[in-house]
Structure 1
Amino acid sequence: MTTSALLSVSGFLSSPSREVTRVTGCRSNFQSSFYGKFICNKSFRRTEVSRSYRGCTVVASVFGRRIQKRESVIPDPDYRIPIVLFGLAGGLVYADNLLAAAPIGLLGLLLLVQTTRVRFVFDSEALEVKVGEQLDESGENVFVGGKNRWKYSTFVNWELWWPNFPILVYFKETQTKPEGQVHFFPVIFNGKQLYDVMVERAGPSKTSGPKES
């Protein structure tokens, strides 16, 4: 998994045991317990490295892998599914089929409320379910337990049904239990945004990846 570190340094490596004592100009390289580079700004001139590193930034590369911090992505809410359910319930009421209209209408109402409050937050390392405008914690998962936060590295597979009008998003992860835990969520978010960020963060799904020839 890609790792990255961007460290601002002031007074770093002040130990007298360091062999590097002076830096001239704008750039100097050093080797320590991990490989890295000092990149100094133009105002940095001849000075004692062991005493001061003002104006310098360390860009560290661990095991030769560069680290990149990714911004959090929150897909926009999408009200299409509740609207369709309300329309279907209204049609059944018009047809005098109240027995079928009642559960469909209640489901539409539930999804409408959830669309206004539930958010999928994709941060740099995990997908987390949060609620409200302030993105509060959603608490423990009522079905399988544990926090509603799953690292991308534990995803086994995921799917979005159906891409043109997504209804459900499914994913299986091994964080909750080693043998794998399946999750289903109604797509009450912008389907394209959800699909794009899932491909980027969790990797291609079985249907979105390159087809075998």
Structure 2
Amino acid sequence: MASALLSTGLFVPLKNRGETGGFCLWNSRSSIHGELLSKANLVKREISSDARGRLVIASVLGRKVTRRETVVPDPDYRIPVVLLGMAGGLAYTNNLLPAAPVGLLGLLLLFQTTRVRFVFDDEALEVKVGEELQQSGENVFVGGKNRWKYSTFVNWELWWPNFPVLVYFKETQTKPEGQVHFFPVIFNGKQLYDVMVERAGPSKTSGPK
């Protein structure tokens, strides 16, 4: 039994290696171990992306594991610019009372556009902040991490297709009966719609034009 587990040429005389007398342990791997190592050598570290942007990685056993690439939609400043323009127009016509809240909202969204990012990884949507994509902490309204798995999405909508303003989605991760979220679309609406369709399924709304 022991000899069957050992590969051939296990012991090589030292004189064959320029030495005199005795034997040297030349190859102590068993056939099973050697087979595992040979399979391990087949692992491919090359990562290629297909037409849908998915990453294909060869596993140790030769099976392919498909992972989708991380997508971060570009920031879009149209909404804060429009709000600030409206505030300026209201102030110009001496409508200071409505101009103040509209202007403050525009400034808030302008600031948020520079720092907040939607990060779509292989399994979940996560809200992160900054160029380094740091953690955003707990949700200030419902608690918990600002990260929701696509598998828990019940429905989502993008209003409105021609000029996306709000994105809505409902998920069951936060609470079983479902939790609704609204976010201003301060990202590229087309990129946001396309990745939501791919990761969370189709929506009743049409894509932005």
Residue 60 of structure 1 deviates from its aligned partner by 5.7
Structure 1 distance, partners of 2:97, 2:175, is 40
- 2:148 corresponds to: 150
Q: Which of 24, 36, 42 is equivalent to 1:56?
A: 42
- Corresponding position of 1:137: 135
C-alpha distance in 2, partners of 1:207/1:168?
12
For residues 15-68 of structure 1, the C-alpha deviation after alignment (integer angstroms, 9 at most, x for no partner) is x9xx9x9xxxxxxxxxxxxxxxxxxxxxxxxx945323252233565xxxx631
Large movers: runs of 4+ above 6 Å: none
More helix by share: 2
Q: Give the residue type in structure 2 aligned to 1:50.
A: H
- What is the rounded CA distance, in whole Å, between the counterparts of 1:113 and 1:136 in structure 2? 16
Do 1:157 and 1:206's aligned partners in 2 also have CA atoms closer than 8 Å? no
Aligned AA (2:41): G
Tell me the residue number matched to 1:202.
200
Deviation at 1:163, TM superposition (A): 1.1
Tell me the equivalent position of 1:177: 175
Runs (5+) with no aligned partner, structure 1: 1-15, 22-46
Give the distance between the partners of 1:164 and 1:207, measured in 2 at CA.
11
Q: Give the TM-score normalised by structure 2.
A: 0.72
Cα shift readout 1:86-117 (whole Å, capped 9, x = no counterpart): 11011101111000100000000000000000
Q: What is the distance in 1 between the residues matched to 2:163 and 2:128?
A: 24
1:118 maps to 116
Distance 1:50 1:131 in 2: 47
Asked if the contact 2:154/2:171 (under 8 Å) is kept, the reply is yes
Largest Rg, 1 or 2: 2
TM-score of the superposed pair, with normalisation by structure 1: 0.71
AA aligned opposite 2:174:
T
RMSD (Å), alpha carbons? 2.2
Percent of residue pairs identical: 77
**Contact residue 173 and residue 182 of structure 1 kept, 8 A:** yes
Is the 2:156–2:170 contact (alpha carbons within 8 Å) kept by the matching residues of 1? yes
Structure with the greater relative contact order (CA < 8 A, sep ≥ 6): 1 or 2? 1
Which residue of structure 2 aligns with residue 189 of structure 1? Answer: 187
Structure 2 residue runs without a partner (length 5+): 8-29, 44-59
